[in-house]
Chain A
């Protein structure tokens, strides 16, 4: 996932550069050539100018531009207009493959031992059947974490996403205490960040590059959404457990299938976690009925540290 991510970002930058070069090239062709001493390669590339004409320049003029933030912090705080993101997690399809978790950890450079996405073996009471429950940030409509944050580092956007601004977070960890879903993790000691990511300007939407001494959690991948892609976990799950989309258009998808959100929730009796706390999550669950896999299939992926838990609110 990370590779894909990187390539697409690079593609994007190149095209941005070409557009820039084209503009300069058209308005002042002479300056453009004279002011820059570059060894010409002889290889030409064709570009489309803003006026719509095709022009040709030497490849040597293609230089990487510094990473410019594409969206301002203000826009990141406002959210994507007209959207209301939701996720549906179909418990009948999960067998604890943990592919979602691996993809998520990799894409967001999460330290080993920490996860934004956890798969809980749940058994509500002694005589009820166990099931696997993937849990990420619930992106609550009444988010307790946002209420307690003293500096507006955790905020709720118009599109329903709860994000963290790691450049503002003071690391008080009040939000971690406030979150009943334990979905927040703290960057205790920092991590090795690959040079290309470390060089990127910080973005709340990608949560990259990670910052030591601040809090992070599932961000619902708004950066992927802006690119028209599904979040990493949704793409990584071969069983289509995660179904993600927009409540306003009522369309949710796991990549291979697309549903009407309202119908899906109605037909399969969707519910949310800890409804009684009044947090109003944006993540819905479909009950583990007519399962695709027996619960036991998932046990092999369970680490020795994690025993079976029989506890739920």
Chain B
């Protein structure tokens, strides 16, 4: 924290200890719970009456569940970017952001798994994946790498939390008996001895190295769910890189939004400073350019050739039924953020927050555009089907379940922040000490 005022250890601890929900927090939590409950009810209906309650039909056989799944997997990649890549490249300023990124990663990956089960016609046969799993199916690859990623992410969340748990246990008068029990259960073995610190550091370093290939794999494999088929719009060798670049972008957008919320509503201005917003802003510009680059590849190269099978698909995106959404996703999700963030004023907290929201919303619709329009352009024309098979607009159940999953992910993050310090206390203190001793 180069420019910030020197803070005493007590001050830091007091500032960063988890805070009880205020009135606003209560309202926020109840809204999220309500949305989740509506989603659960919609899912009950889906279980009872079958996937027929969705608007998916034989041609559009994957709808917003799958695009939402891709969205969740994408946003979860940021955990590896900020925790691992920054850590290994010795980026110091990102310390207060690591836990934000990691909890976004964990909750997103959990809800990615939930939403994929929701999409299954026979969720009760989930165990068949283990009983009869066949390794040649990209779905199996996804199951394996998502599982691995989940465990590494949980550990990357847990290990750096250990010293903070010690601090939490020390300040037990600040939290109720139940939370104290939880803290003790999770971290009472941690004494903070140099030995333990060394092991912990080593473990975090190892995990940071491990998580990078795993993170790249989860999103590459997710892109292969599409790229291994013949369909126009999916049949691309570019897909893995295209998905990963998009994932880093939406994940960083998500971190920016979360940063602003904590900065503002949790009064962490002293810890998440303008400097952090500025730095994240630069990263977001870079990632937007990268994603834009892959989009140009993905759309302009096929459009140059205009193969028969691609033609209808591309025409529908550029100027047909999906054109509003398409240009919205391109402009709001990439081009306008780039323009705003290129200016120094644009990298202040509030504009950054708006840009972050634009990126996340744009990215959600982008995932929808990747999944659905392609399915509306099969190789053989649509034939012998009722009119409602020819287009797709999600039913209320699909919206409810999708919103429920998004609300659920936010709820996990909200409760995490209620229980644990979102900005690492221990690391903030040590870094301050380090920089002080440097100056002396």
Contact = CB atoms under 8 A, between A and B. Distances in A.
A306 B378 CA distance: 15
Contacts, number: 156
A212 B49 CA distance: 9
Give chain B's interface secondary structure class.
loop
Interface in A253-280: 274, 277
Interface string A204-215: 000000001111
In the complex, which range does the number of interface residues on chain B fall in? Answer: 35 or more
A294 interface: no
A153 to B, nearest CB: 8
A188 interface: yes
A60 interface: no
B383 interface: yes
A176 B119 CA distance: 14
B148 interface: no
Contacts of B54: 188
Nearest to B121: A171
A39 B123 CA distance: 49
B128 A181 contact: no
B379 A174 contact: no
A52 interface: no
A274 B379 contact: yes
Contacts of B383: 118-121, 306, 309
B22 interface: no
A182 B379 contact: yes
**Max count, chain A CB within 10 A of own CB: residue among B132, B143, B309, B383:** B383
Contacts of A190: 50, 52
A114 to B, nearest CB: 6
Most chain A CB within a 10 A radius of its CB, from B57, B123, B133, B381: B381
A115 B121 contact: no
Interface in B103-134: 119-123, 125-126, 128-129, 131-134
B137 A147 contact: yes
Interface in B202-238: 225-226, 228-231
Contacts of A234: none
Given A178-B228, A313-B309, A189 B384 contact: no
B132 A152 contact: yes
Interface residues of A, number: 50
A253 B355 CA distance: 66
| Chain A, interface SS category | loop
A221 interface: no
A150 B121 contact: no
A186 interface: yes
A305 B139 contact: no
A149 B379 contact: no
Nearest to A308: B381
Contact of B231 (A150, A174, A177, A215): A177
A82 B50 CA distance: 40
Given A118-B383, A119-B383, A181-B379, A174 B50 contact: no
B308 interface: yes
A153 B382 CA distance: 26
Given A172-B139, A174-B139, A305-B385, A148 B228 contact: yes
Contacts of A135: 380
B381 A151 contact: no
B58 interface: yes
Nearest to A114: B58
Contact of B378 (A169, A182, A303): A182
A144 interface: yes
B387 A305 contact: yes
B52 to A, nearest CB: 3
A151 B385 contact: no
Contacts of A214: 121-122
24 contacts: A114-B58, A118-B384, A120-B383, A121-B383, A144-B229, A148-B137, A150-B133, A150-B143, A151-B128, A151-B129, A153-B128, A170-B128, A172-B121, A174-B138, A176-B58, A180-B379, A188-B50, A188-B57, A213-B50, A215-B121, A277-B230, A305-B385, A305-B387, A309-B381
Given A114-B385, A149-B137, A182-B382, 9 more contacts: A101-B384, A172-B139, A173-B61, A176-B61, A177-B226, A180-B379, A188-B51, A303-B384, A305-B390
